[in-house]
């Protein structure tokens, strides 16, 4: 049976990465590990690691992306929580069997090799949940 190992990251959608970093990095003192363009998701991400997890600040890079639409509709703030799993295929099969609505029926693969999929917020009390398998 697949299991959840940990919280991998909490993603916060922002309209201005540099402005957001003045709070997260400069005011709170969380070290910025890296900034990365993620063309597949039409976004730029700032990674701020914290004790086994990360804060990810995510800014859309295209007005036609799902992230940009989310930002336009809801404004900046918490976007999703990401759970690290040991078997993403098994977890997705288990969730489908239980009637959970998925955004991604099959995992996608990020540029760094991580496999990921999103669970629709309708099935998780309004919270967008991402699953990661390292």
Distance between CA atoms of 88 and 100, rounded to whole angstroms?
14
Per-residue pLDDT, 112 = 84
2, 86 contact by CB (below 8 A): yes
21, pLDDT greater than 90:
yes
116: left (phi over 0), alpha (psi -120 to 50) or beta: beta
pTM of the model: 0.91
pLDDT digits (tens, 9 = 90+) for 71-97: 999 999 999 999 999 999 999 999 999
98, pLDDT greater than 90:
yes
Domains of the chain, start order: 4-133 (3.10.180.10)
> Per DSSP, which regions of 1-134 are E strands?
4-13, 34-38, 43-50, 53-60, 77-85, 108-109, 115-119, 129-133
| Residue 97, burial from CB neighbour count under 10 angstroms (0-12, 13-18, 19+) | exposed
Per-residue pLDDT, 74 = 93
């Amino acid at each position: 049976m697949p299991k959840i190992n940990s919280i991998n990251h909490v993603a916060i959608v922002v309209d201005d990465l540099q402005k957001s970093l003045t709070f997260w990095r400069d005011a709170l003192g969380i070290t910025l590990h890296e900034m990365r363009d993620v063309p597949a998701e039409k976004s730029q991400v700032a990674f701020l690691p914290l004790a086994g997890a990360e804060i990810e600040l995510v800014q859309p890079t295209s007005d036609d992306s799902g992230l940009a639409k989310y930002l336009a509709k809801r404004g900046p703030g918490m976007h999703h929580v990401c759970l690290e799993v040991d078997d993403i295929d098994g977890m997705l099969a288990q969730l489908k069997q239980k009637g959970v609505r998925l955004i991604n029926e099959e995992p996608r693969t990020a540029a760094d090799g991580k496999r990921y999929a999103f669970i629709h917020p309708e099935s998780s009390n309004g919270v967008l949940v991402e699953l990661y398998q390292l």
